Amino acid sequence: MKKLILETPAGTPPHCKIWAKEAAQEMLSMFPEYKSSFQIEFDDCHPKNKSEISVAEYTALPNDELKSKYFKLPNGRYLVPYASEAWFLAVASEQNKAKGINAVDMEHYARLKAEKMVRENSQDLVVTLLNQTIEPKFYGYGIEKLNSVISLENCTDKELFITIFIHEFGHILNATHAARSHIKEDPDLGVHCTNNKCIMGESGFIGLTQERLDRKQKGQPPFCDECIASMRETLENMPGLVKAVTITHQNNLPVLPHNNDNWKDGWRQHLKAVAARENATYNEDLKNQNFVADITHADGSKLNIEANNEYNLSLGAQNANGEDDIPSIKDFSNIVAKAVKDNCQIEFANIEDDEFKARLLIACLESSPRVKTKGAPHISKEFLQNLDAKTKTRLQRALGPQNSNQGNNRPTNPRRRQTRPNNFPRGRGRS
């Protein structure tokens, strides 16, 4: 589980906390395969340890690099490095105050926050809401794979705030990394997308906000495909995250934002291959905004598939007489096979039918390599009593004597993950 920490120091307006959570949820919803791997938490930045020491205590400290970071207060006492919001504000304001400016340097503040994360080897992602006067004037600053800071000084509008939040989070996820095309680098503003309709562009946040709202109304994400691909690449190599294909049996999935229908190609190709291999008939509703298809088997039974993104599927079935049924274990196995290929685990959504859950679990257990699951049913006596006799026997055989509890598990064959680099990354977006 990866924590997304929303830092809200003392003085943060309550409505900004609400906006921040809404923005975080909107951002994470664009990556459904990882959404359940994130846990959103608030932190009021209250000191967890001793944050201030006396002159005598300071004098007794070893003369090392950390001692040079203590900040001397007018009363002679010292603020402990990284231990309190007072220290971050004092150090980030020091150069401005020397010039007679009573304001925080937001870039310096953001990098101090990132330094703390690196020193503590934190695997969290952090967004800080800074409710202070800042100089130079920027809306936000993001540092790849670590944190971002959003200035509340001029963010009095909710939609503008959400735009800035999503943009800066895009910098955390390295949306405009130097190795990709269609980016431009400004000495003052950092690296941004050349697509001015993409939220990672630099055409101005007022314009980007209107563009985001227009795209949202059209059912499109605020990012261009290149930025989404860059962020997915970052997420795939981020410790603490596990990709998941979520399975449900609800009908009429809501339509989610997409720039085009290219996301359907993976399931289309996979299911066409399944149908050809099994001498079955593949049919797809090309007019539907979601991916809606079915496979009709030789005996007349049918598997129905609906998806509103690559990682969220609804499955149903009819028997040879056209009556509603539960997909067979073989049908589930064909779906699980693609999850194996894509290095995903299977996540059980809110499924009410125990037989449905059992057959899906069997497919996961019998796959090679075995697919781990999230939200799988607890195998109790009561659960087994609700199953078809053949399903019950096969499930018990698949579980085996050592594997009777299939709770929240990690994938058997996870992709190799990169750890956070020891060297301090440079900021990717001052906005």
**Rounded to an integer, what distance in angstroms lies between the CA atom of residue 257 and that of residue 261?**
10
Residue 257 neighbours by CB distance under 10 Å: 16
177-224 pLDDT, tens digit per residue, is 988 999 998 877 889 999 989 999 987 899 999 999 999 999 899 999
261-292 pLDDT, tens digit per residue, is 999 999 999 999 999 999 999 999 999 999 99
37-94 pLDDT, tens digit per residue, is 999 999 999 999 999 999 999 999 999 999 999 999 999 999 999 999 999 999 999 9
Percent of the chain at pLDDT above 90? 84
Phi/psi of residue 306, nearest 5 degrees: -135, 140
pLDDT for residue 424 is more than 50: no
Residue 91 neighbours by CB distance under 10 Å: 20
**Rounded to an integer, what distance in angstroms lies between the CA atom of residue 295 and that of residue 300?**
10
- Whole-number pLDDT of residue 420: 28
**Rounded to an integer, what distance in angstroms lies between the CA atom of residue 145 and that of residue 2?**
12
Of the candidates 5, 416, 425, the residue with the CA atom closest to the CA atom of residue 239: 416
Q: What sections of 254-373 are H helices per DSSP?
A: 265-277, 329-341, 354-366
In a 3-state reduction of DSSP, which class is residue 210? helix
